[in-house]
Amino acid sequence: MTSSHVKSICVFCGASLGADPAFKDAAEDLGARMAAQGIRLVFGAGHVGMMGTVADAVLAGGGEAVGVIPEFLHDRELAHQGLTELHVVDSMHTRKRMMFDLSDAFFVLPGGLGTLEEAFEVITWRQLGRHEKPIVLISTRDYWQPFADLVERVIEEDFAHGNPDDYFSIEPTPAAALTAAFPP
């Protein structure tokens, strides 16, 4: 990475806001911090839920937000119309590939089944040695603890090797996640 390289973080998170306002607060906090640190957001382009909240916070802070959405979700997830760049692509697979290529790290805020799928994909790509980009789960209200426990069990039972932190890290807040991914 050269010093002129603009860092980009791909954020996976819910298309809903979840049951507790703390989740939305974390999305706003992450977006504001990324903008303040000049880190570009790469995300699924939806203007709904946690996704829309992160993007709005990045843009409100003067930062850049790049969205990638497949055509069939463009209306359902209300593609954000105020983004720095909006890429409308042909399929979910193209979306994920493009989000991967555009990003230096992956952050996972609380979210639903789609978020789990996206997180597991980059984790398994890392397990297979396809990349070494940091993956950080932001565990607001310990949201990701059951996920960490499951991966630990998988390793204990010898279905995977090493330690969970070979694959991802878990941090309680956006501030801690940013420090973990890009140490000062």
Separation between Cα atoms, residue 104 and residue 107, nearest integer Å? 10
Smallest gap from Cβ 179 to ligand AMP, in A, equals: 25
32 binds ligand AMP (CB under 6 A): no
Q: In this chain, which residue has its C-beta nearest to ligand AMP?
A: 114
73 binds ligand AMP (CB under 6 A): yes
Do 124 and 31 contact (CB within 8 A), yes or no?
A: no
Residue 174 Cα distances to 13, 104, 168, 171, angstroms: 13, 16, 15, 8
> Taking CB under 6 A as the criterion, which residues in 79-118 touch ligand AMP?
92, 96, 111-115, 117-118
Smallest gap from Cβ 101 to ligand AMP, in A, equals: 15
78 binds ligand AMP (CB under 6 A): no
Separation between Cα atoms, residue 152 and residue 150, nearest integer Å? 5
- Which is closer to ligand AMP, CB of 15 or CB of 177? 15
Smallest gap from Cβ 117 to ligand AMP, in A, equals: 4
Q: Which of 18, 46, 164, 174 binds ligand AMP (CB under 6 A)?
A: 46
Q: Give a three-class secondary structure readout of 49-99.
A: HHHHHHHHHHHHCCCCEEEEEEHHHCCCCCECCCCCEEEEECCHHHHHHHH
Q: Which of 18, 31, 44, 174 binds ligand AMP (CB under 6 A)?
A: 44
Query: 86: which 2 tokens?
Result: 């909006």
Q: How large is the angle between the packed helices 92-102 and 113-127, nearest 10 degrees?
A: 60
Give the contact letters, 6-25, x = binds to ligand AMP (CB under 6 A), - = no.
--------xxx---------
Query: 165: which 2 tokens?
Result: 């932190």
Helix (H) / strand (E) containing 11: strand 8-12
How many residues of this chain bind ligand AMP (CB under 6 A)?
16
> Taking CB under 6 A as the criterion, which residues in 132-171 touch ligand AMP?
none
Residues that bind ligand AMP (CB under 6 A): 14-16, 44, 46, 73, 77, 92, 96, 111-115, 117-118
